[in-house]
Structure 1
């Protein structure tokens, strides 16, 4: 395995990881920001208030984008296995 191939695999792995985690992370950040603004304006300082909306938002995004995430991960795995098959000793 050459250094160029290894760099390609690592770049592809990082890109795939970022793409797969982005919808859930962005949802958690946006829901947290909205709840924080709500808490600041109403002066309700309940720590458990953010948990349930984040959980619901993340679950909805997981359900909606789960199929896309699975296809992205399968495509990455197939690319890695094709690279492994092309390695000659």
Structure 2
């Protein structure tokens, strides 16, 4: 498994209601996406960083998803370019079935 942390940092706080609208608009394509186990949309406590965290089954699918075109698109949506970090997941606890 591979994790990806995508961070959008602004100098001003993100508007939580505007982020909720983005989530509603962008959620659909991720539901049932091959190779993607989880995706979360998050807002840091200070409100200046919106973060998306992905858990993927396959590194090749992961890296092919994060294209230059996708970066351009999300930069337009969030108003700032993302920082993309790839993380090796060495362990995972999933309590969603309990």
TM superposition score category, shorter chain reference: 0.3 to 0.5
Structure with the higher helix share, 1 or 2: 1
Structure with the higher strand share, 1 or 2: 2
Larger Rg: 1
TM-score, length of structure 2 as denominator length: 0.31
